[in-house]
Amino acid sequence: MAKSFKSLLQSPKLEFLMEAHNGLSARIVEETGFSGIWASGLSISASYGVRDCNEASWTQIVETLEFMSECTTIPILMDADTGFGNFNNVIRLVQKLEKIEIAGICIEDKLFPKINSLVKGFNQPLASIGEFCGKINAAKDTQKNKDFCVIARTEAFVTGYKVEEAIKRASAYAEAGADGILVHSKLDNPSEIIEFVKLWQKDTPLIIVPTTYNSTPTKLFRELGISIVIWANHNVRACITAMREISKRIYLDSTTKEIESKIAKLDDIFQLTNMLELKISEEKYLKEFHDKFDNVLSSAKR
Ligand code: SPV
Ligand code: MG
C-alpha cells in the first residue's frame, strides 16, 4: 500500500484521492476506480456526529481506518491532524498505522486540539517550525516500511499568513524529510496556491485540497504541476443530502413505496460486504457439519 501511494505521489501525472469515512465508503471509492483514499478527519468525525476538533480520540479514528483498510486494496492516506499530541504521539501513531497497512499520514502544523481549517470565526494558532519538524523526523525515524509516506501540511494561508511564511514552512518540512507537502487554502479562488507554486523550488511533490476553490478547472492544477488533488469531504456530504431527502420522504409518506427505486437494493449491500465469499467459505468449512446435520434431520423425519 505504501509503495503504491508513493508512486501516486511521485508520478508525473495529476492523481486524485477521494474521501472515505468508513469501510463502506472506502469500498465504494475503490469500486469507482480511484487509485487512493483520503481518510478525512472532518468526514470521520462527522460520521460519528462529533466536531472536527479532536473530539474523537485517535484510537477511535484508527479503529475506523482498520475497517477501511480491511475493506480495500488501494492505498489510504490518513488525515492525522496534528499527530494527536507531540512527537511521541506521532511515533505511537505511525507504529499502529503500519500494522494496519495504512500507506501514509498527513500531519498539519497547527496545535492539538486542532480545529477544522474551513470553520469560520476561530483562532487557528500554528506550531513552531522547529516543533513540527521534530514530528516529521519522529515519523520518518519510526516507519519500518521505507515507502510509508509522511505528508507535511502547512496551514500558513489558512491562518492568515502570506506566501513567504507558507514557503518558509514548507521548505523546512521538506528538508526535515517530508515526502510531500500539502498546501491548504480556504479562499474561493486558487490565487494563494498559484503564488505558492511559483515560488516553490524544491522537488518535493505538492498536494492540494480544492474544497473552497472548487470552480477552478482541474486543467490549471495540471499546468501548475500539482501531484495530488484531494476531494476531501464529498462522500460524507453526499450522504447527508441523500439521508435527509430519504428520511424526510419516509417521514412524510409513512411508506417507503415511493423511494424504493431511489435507494440501494439490499443485494447491493450484500455484494459490497462480500456475502459471496461467506457462501464459498461456508461450503468449505461447514460442509461436514451440514452433512451430519442433514443426516440427523432426515433420520429424525423417518
Ligand atoms: C479533512 O478532510 O479533514 C481535511 C481537509 O483536513 S479540511 O476539511 O479542508 O481541513
Ligand atoms: Mg482534517
Residue spans of beta strands (DSSP E) within 232-276: none
The Cα–Cα gap between 194 and 184 comes to 12
Q: Are residues 117 and 17 in the same domain?
A: yes
The Cα–Cα gap between 54 and 66 comes to 18
Ligand 1 site, residue 69, Cβ cutoff 6 A:
no
The Cα–Cα gap between 113 and 206 comes to 25
Q: Are residues 213 and 294 in the same domain?
A: no
| CATH code assigned at 111 | 3.20.20.60
Residue 115: band (very low, low, confident or very high) from pLDDT cuts 50, 70, 90:
very high
What would the pLDDT profile of 85-114 be if each residue is shown by its tens digit? 999 999 999 999 999 999 999 999 999 999
Residue nearest to atom 5 of ligand 1 (CA): 232
Give me ligand 2 centre to Cα 40, in Å: 6
Per the DSSP assignment, residues forming a β-bridge with 268 are none
Q: Model-level pTM?
A: 0.95
Atom of ligand 1 nearest to the CA of 153: 6
| CA 266 from centre of chain | 27
Q: Are residues 301 and 219 in the same domain?
A: no
Ligand 1 site, residue 80, Cβ cutoff 6 A:
no
Q: Are residues 213 and 298 in the same domain?
A: no
User: Which pLDDT value is given to residue 294?
Assistant: 73
- Structural domain range at position 215: 2-232
User: Which pLDDT value is given to residue 295?
Assistant: 73
Per the DSSP assignment, residues forming a β-bridge with 207 are 182, 228
In a domain? residue 62? yes
Q: Say if residue 40's pLDDT is above 80.
A: yes
Give me ligand 2 centre to Cα 97, in Å: 17
Nearest ligand by distance to the CA of 116: 1
Ligand 1 site, residue 40, Cβ cutoff 6 A:
yes
* Cβ atoms within 10 Å of 73's Cβ, excluding its own: 10
In a domain? residue 190? yes
Ligand 1 site, residue 18, Cβ cutoff 6 A:
no
Q: Are residues 109 and 163 in the same domain?
A: yes
Ligand 1 site, residue 4, Cβ cutoff 6 A:
no
What would the pLDDT profile of 246-299 be if each residue is shown by its tens digit? 999 999 999 999 999 999 999 999 999 999 999 999 999 998 777 776 777 677
Q: Are 197 and 191 in contact (CB under 8 A)?
A: no
How many residues does this entry show for the chain? 302
In a domain? residue 239? no
- Helix 191-199 vs helix 163-175: crossing angle, to nearest 10: 50
Give me ligand 2 centre to Cα 195, in Å: 23
Ligand 1 site, residue 232, Cβ cutoff 6 A:
yes
User: What is the DSSP-derived secondary structure letter of residue 110?
Assistant: B
What would the pLDDT profile of 215-254 be if each residue is shown by its tens digit? 999 999 999 999 999 999 999 999 999 999 999 999 999 9
Ligand 1 site, residue 116, Cβ cutoff 6 A:
yes
Give me ligand 1 centre to Cα 158, in Å: 11
Cell for 302? 423417518
Q: Which of 52, 79, 81, 179 is catalytic?
A: 52
State the total domains in the chain: 2
Atom of ligand 1 nearest to the CA of 211: 9
Q: Are residues 180 and 302 in the same domain?
A: no
* Cβ atoms within 10 Å of 144's Cβ, excluding its own: 10
- Look-up: residue for cell 505521489? 9
Which of 76, 118, 151 for mutating ligand 1's site (highest number of atoms within 8 Å of CB)? 118
Give me ligand 1 centre to Cα 59, in Å: 19
- Look-up: residue for cell 502544523? 109
Q: For residue 52, indicate whether it is catalytic.
A: yes
What would the pLDDT profile of 163-219 be if each residue is shown by its tens digit? 999 999 999 999 999 999 999 999 999 999 999 999 999 999 999 999 999 999 999
Dihedral pair phi/psi, residue 233, rounded to 5°: -150, 15
In a domain? residue 29? yes
Nearest ligand by distance to the CA of 185: 1
Per the DSSP assignment, residues forming a β-bridge with 149 are 104
Q: Are residues 214 and 93 in the same domain?
A: yes
